[in-house]
Amino acid sequence: MILCKWIWIFLVFCVSHIKTDLWRKVENHPAWKILDAFECGFSASDRIIGGLNAALGQFPWIVRLGYHTPGESELDWMCGGALITDKHVVTAAHCVQNGEDFTLTTIRVGEHNTKTNPDCELHVCAPPIQDRSIKAIKSHPKYNKPEFHNDLALIVLDRPVQLNDYVVPICLPRGDQLSAPRLGEPLTAAGWGTMNMTTEERAKILQYVAVPIVKPELCNLFGGGFKVASTEICAGAQHNKDACGGDSGGPLMKVFDTPDGPKNVLVGVVSFGPTICGIRKPGVYTSVPHFLKWILDNVMNLQVRK
């Protein structure tokens, strides 16, 4: 028992040290002055997590990534992302890699129901959606080195979006918020991805789901010798509760109490999971705290004039 106690104290010390070291590297980063110009993390909805359809304005930082296919008049919205300023979007690196038959061209903010514009709920209507072109894209230089790892990218919009109650940046983690989530702790993922395990039909209304943190080794099940790294979060493994196709790049979120009230913080980015979603296998999420300095560096480096 005494040995177990000292092992536990040692583990707590290590986690605390990692957190302190991560924060020490970025605490005085000049990019915070850019981020602090915006109120972040506030939701226009007060619904309790646990349902399927998000409320209007519940996740006002979520964006959609639109891809152009030659010969097609409509864009295909295949990934998500999170707004962190009025012109910077965090997403997955695999979402910004153009293919032979599609090219990422458009970022959409203020979406809720993909079939209506503007969106209304209980006689309250949000402003119309806003579409922006892309000024610059920066993928993490070690993306896919090794394969499937470092799946993170930053997009700069061609011009700032107009912020309102339904378009708000999400906060980046600071201080104690950099601590690793505990086993079993539920985090929230959201997007317009596939809703049904048997079809490719995507959601019309923004969906969200609580996914619990599980042991990292449970994510070492995807073949090819993949082993989850300390820069990734393993979460999920619940039947019919998962991020799925079309949710890639979207945010993994946690609500923290702050002196200004509860705020939503970006703790991860949807990376990949099992081919069939929601079958008691977890998903892999890129850990934002571990890449915080890289994000802040590129917020500074990838500026666009207003």
Cα(116)–Cα(109) distance, integer angstroms: 14
Rounded distance between C-alpha atoms, residue 33 and residue 303, angstroms: 13
Instruction: Quote the CA–CA distance of 211 and 114 in Å, as a whole number.
Output: 24
Q: Quote the CA–CA distance of 254 and 265 in Å, as a whole number.
A: 5
Catalytic positions: 94, 151, 248
Contact 169, 109 (CB under 8 A): no
Cα within 13 Å of Cα(220), Cβ side:
8
Q: How many CA atoms lie within 13 A of 49 on its CB side?
A: 17
The rounded distance, in Å, linking the Cα atoms of 146 and 268 is 19
From 90, 38, 86, select the one nearest 263 (Cα to Cα).
Answer: 38
Contact 247, 80 (CB under 8 A): yes
Q: Around 21, how many Cα atoms within 13 Å sit in the side-chain half-sphere?
A: 9
